Amino acid sequence: MSDAKRSYDSPRRRSQAEATQRRILDAARVLFLERPYAATSMADIAAAAGVAVQTVYNAIGGGKAALTKRVWDVTLAGDLDPAPLDARAEVQALFAEPVPSRKLTRYAALSRQLYERLGPLARVVRAGAAAGDEDRQVLLETVERERLLGTARIAAHLSAVDALRPGLDVERAGHRLWVVNAGEIGDGLILRCGWTLDEYQAWMSETMISSLLSPPADLPDSPPSPG
């Protein structure tokens, strides 16, 4: 086979493989949202995607637990690109923003986007974990650990630019971010209390800024005591 033929086939094969993986992930996401996890087999997912069962295993590189994690990661990212969030344009813009309060405003906007993408799937995963499903428990523990690492990186960046309020260390700052943008908090405010997404985003921004950043020089750290 000529070099030209190989160079033509390789991009085409990659494109076909990506299209197949996308069909599998889309089918799996729909079934995971519609059916009990334990009742959804790899054969069901393969049939919904229009591929052989072995194709599902080959495309994902593992079984149903690996497939579920891949569905989560692609839903989080919004695409099949394996680049981590830190390397993506919205996070790079956050790091490049010179004004600390605007950094956190950008982070609140990103947190809202992730909440919108992940909300339905996250609720299914949390419900399955609470019901005792081991795969869902492992997935929830994994993604929460990853989320904590993500908020720690944001906190470390704020510390590096000397933006954290006095006495607040990087670990505690990361913990505060982790709590503020937790999906359960968003669900409580939006689904139970009736907040809009805009209100939720504004609250995250305000809470992150007031909780993490040094107050302006002309404002007190806390309101004066009554009387």
Query: Given pLDDT bands bounded at 50, 70 and 90, which one contains residue 189?
Result: very high
Q: Which residues contact 87 (CB under 8 A, 6 or more apart)?
A: none
How far is 154 from 115, CA to CA, in rounded Å? 17
In DSSP notation, the chain reads --HHHHHHHHHHHHHHHHHHHHHHHHHHHHHHHHS-GGG--HHHHHHHHTS-HHHHHHHHTS-HHHHHHHHHHHHHHSSS----GGGSHHHHHHHH-SSHHHHHHHHHHHHHHHHHHHHHHHHHHHHHHHTT-HHHHHHHHHHHHHHHHHHHHHHHHHHHTT-BPTT--HHHHHHHHHHHT-HHHHHIIIIIT---HHHHHHHHHHHHHHHHBPPPTTS-SSPPPP-
Tens digit of each residue's pLDDT (9 = 90 or more) over 77-127: 888 877 777 788 888 999 999 999 999 999 999 999 999 999 999 999 999
- The structural domains of the chain, ordered by start, are 1-64 (no CATH), 83-215 (1.10.357.10)
Model confidence band, residue 213 (pLDDT cutoffs 50, 70, 90): very high
- For residue range 16-70, what is the model confidence (pLDDT) as tens digits? 888 999 999 999 999 999 988 888 999 999 999 999 999 999 988 888 889 999 9
Average of per-residue pLDDT values in the chain: 89
* pLDDT tops 80 at residue 218: no
Which residue, among 81, 175, 201, 67, has the nearest Cα to 121 in the 3D structure?
67
Supply the pTM of this predicted model.
0.84
pLDDT in tens, 153-181: 999 999 999 999 999 999 999 999 999 99
